[in-house]
Amino acid sequence: MTDTYSWLFSRCRHAQLHYNTEFRTCMMIYLFLGLLVHIFTPCSSLENGMFLTPPMGWMSWERYRCNINCEVDPDNCISEKLLKDMADRLATDGWKTLGYEYVNLDDCWSSKKRDAQGRLQPDPKRFPSGIKALADYVHSKGLKFGIYGDLGNYTCAGYPGTTLDTIDLDAQTFAEWGVDMLKLDACYSNASMMAEGFPKMSLALNRTGRPIAFCCSWPAYQGGLPPKVNYTLLAQICNSWRNYYDIQDSWESVMSVIQWYGKNQDVLQPAAGPGHWNDPAVLIVGDFGLSYEQSKTQMAIWAMLAAPLFMSNDLRSISGKFKEILQNQLAISINQDPLGAPGIRVYKDKNFEVWRRVLSKGSFAVAVVRTSYDGTPKPAILNLAQLRIVDCLLGYQVIDVLESKLMGFYNLLDIIYFQVNPSGVMLLYISPVCT
């Protein structure tokens, strides 16, 4: 249909040279067909040029929550100091050059009241320099600044929400402050308010003229699945969306996210792509609840899912081993693959699940997750043919991503043998020998 449409357009252009009835008829048909194309195009994405690969950076919520007690806990309360600290670390400790560029302030940044003009304003004690100055600081480090809002009467933590009548004003305020990304939550909202408000905010952000990526929590409040959630529409208005519960600082929580994505992959996998991503919530690597093995597993599966890599941790004190996981270049390049096609789970038994992701240039990523907890490493035996990695008959190079180690070159039926630790993962980068 799109081809017909293009042909028709060139015909009309031709007719235009002789502006006449033929041209007007032509254009009417053209516009009518345009409407049809618009209606029937299966997934047209928000075309603000943002998030062409999954965004990366840092986000305050999971690790710092609504800690506003700056008197007792000045280093860890939600304040401009905390955000500047994290911007400093991102810029200095090798994060920025790897792509971790967003510094995202979550809930609890604002004053409990809007200002005299009805505008959102930051808490004056914790953000004495104001949000614009903070965004400027972040920009001065070569980073981007994200903020949090809530389409509802209040934010989840009880701060002023963005109601339907303040959408335009709030979008304008964010743009004036130099915000680069808005996470819009939906506590104290309802289905019709969300259905009207999220598209409206998308439009309002576009109208500001400032490129502001739009991260929508809408589907998470609607169960994350059709028919209540329309992923085609979401792709048109949001650059990413949260569709499942908030992650908590535990392996159980990470696993529940992974299981939900696996179970619903037929819906979720096709929904995502360049400019519009599923967001399974933040990385908790470097926090309190995950072991080293479990941390590698989260990183691997977030890479497979083409998930936003927003860390919620303390970059000032993260230990070397956990930093290495988050800074693994090949894992990041899998996550950022320009094809933008998320992986799916292709196998599951009581000990293992296997995820497979198609990458650009004929490459693949495969993650083998150990889902049983009997304490000894278990052997896994695979071959490429089994994994339907068969396009290059000459074979593939296989890299153990998390150990940054070449495992070797494999023909399609060669046995690939390795062991996987309890709650651990083997992440493989598989690239064709064929050129």
Q: What are the residue numbers of the active site?
A: 185, 246
Strand partners, 103: 58, 145
- Contact criterion met (CB below 8 Å) for 84 and 137: yes
Q: How far is the CB of 259 from a second copy (least distance, A)?
A: 14
Query: Closer CB to a second copy, residue 109 or residue 214?
Result: 109
CA atoms 257, 259, 264, 268: torsion sign = positive
Mapping DSSP to helix (H, G, I), strand (E, B) and coil, where does residue 198 land? Answer: helix
Classify residue 246 by burial, with Cβ atoms within 10 Å: 0-12, 13-18, 19+: middle
User: For the chain, what's the residue count?
Assistant: 435
Q: How far is the CB of 373 from a second copy (least distance, A)?
A: 4
Mapping DSSP to helix (H, G, I), strand (E, B) and coil, where does residue 317 land? Answer: coil
Query: Closer CB to a second copy, residue 224 or residue 424?
Result: 424
Q: How many CB atoms lie within 10 A of CB 257?
A: 21
Among 428, 380, 378, residue whose Cα is nearest residue 403 = 428
Query: Closer CB to a second copy, residue 178 or residue 286?
Result: 286
**Site residues, a second copy (CB under 8 A):** 62-65, 67, 72, 76, 248-253, 284, 287-294, 312, 373-377, 379, 421-424
Q: How far is the CB of 421 from a second copy (least distance, A)?
A: 5
- Contact criterion met (CB below 8 Å) for 135 and 178: yes
Query: Closer CB to a second copy, residue 274 or residue 422?
Result: 422
- Cβ neighbours for 260, distance < 8 A, ≥ 6 positions apart: 224, 244
CA distance 228 to 222: 6
Q: How far is the CB of 258 from a second copy (least distance, A)?
A: 15
Query: Closer CB to a second copy, residue 9 or residue 292?
Result: 292
Q: How far is the CB of 81 from a second copy (least distance, A)?
A: 16
- Contact criterion met (CB below 8 Å) for 188 and 153: yes
Q: How far is the CB of 320 from a second copy (least distance, A)?
A: 12
CA distance 55 to 144: 11
